[in-house]
Amino acid sequence: MSTIELEARAKFNYFLLSFAFEVLLKHAIAGNESWSVAPFLGLGFVHDTGSQYLRSDNFEYTGVRLLAGAVATRRVSSAVSVIAELDVPLDLSFSPAQVARWSSLVGGGAEIYLGSDFTALLMGQLGVDYLKEPLGVPQWSLGYQVRAGFGYRFF
């Protein structure tokens, strides 16, 4: 991780049938060649289709996503790094109004260097999930996320 990084993410949530596009700015505050700690801030766009095949309280919305968190990485070999991450996304809906979804998730995983600036990531996270429905009924539940993906470093 360099001192300042710009990261773009595209996410698809299989259970809610939602997608998000996010841009994050990370700034390493401590570390050396083998480890680093970096808080991040981000902004994104989110759309939830409202599919209720796995979660009956899901509903359709489109909105802006605000992100905050921190990531810690430790290189364990030339090709493998372990990662710990705290994610705190907040979705604020354009339509319907007064709808919000907030999560606080912490967890870890591994990133593997595949070559030619490509990496693969597998991470699991647990935490709390807050949902304020269109009728204004707040609901708290167990939040979880399994993230699998590929990355490419442009520079």
Domain annotation for the chain: domains and CATH numbers: 4-152 (2.40.160)
Bridge partner list, 141: 129
CA distance 17 to 51: 6
pTM over 0.75: yes
C-alpha to C-alpha distances, 50 to 56, 133, 134, nearest whole angstrom: 9, 11, 12
Within its chain, how far is the Cα of 81 from the centroid? Answer: 18
Residue 14's pLDDT is what? 86
Q: Tell me the pLDDT tens digit for each residue of 99-154.
A: 899 999 999 999 999 988 899 999 999 999 998 888 778 889 999 999 999 998 87
117 alpha carbon, distance to own chain's centre: 21
Exposure string for 49-59, b = 16+ CB within 10 A, e = fewer: eeeeeeeeebb
